[in-house]
Amino acid sequence: MPISIARLTPAAVDVRCDADVSRLTLADGREISAPMEWFPRLREPGPEQREQWRPIGRGERIQWQDIDEVNALLGLPS
């Protein structure tokens, strides 16, 4: 009997960063968090600048243009 496996889509639909943690919400409902220590360029700017992100590619990367930063989604396979 064949088994089908649903392919998960690692596309960012929301990003939230506070002083300690970066949180990503993906299109397929997964939520991922990582310590802000992993993202030194995102620690210094204020919350207003960190909220100005946009997905690039197929949502597999995130860009903060004002901060001059681009991140992959924590190494998730695309």
Which sequence spans correspond to the domains of the chain?
A: 12-72
The pLDDT value given to residue 43: 85
| Cα(76)–Cα(54) distance, integer angstroms | 18
Query: One digit per residue, pLDDT tens: the chain, 78 residues?
Result: 566 555 666 788 999 998 899 999 999 898 989 898 888 888 888 888 989 999 888 888 889 888 888 887 655 444
- Ranges of beta strands (E only) in 6-57 are 12-17, 21-26, 31-35, 54-56
The pLDDT value given to residue 76: 45
The pLDDT value given to residue 58: 81
User: Which CATH architecture does the domain made up of 12-72 adopt?
Assistant: 2-Layer Sandwich (3.30)
Write phi, then psi, for 27 (nearest 5 degrees).
-60, -30
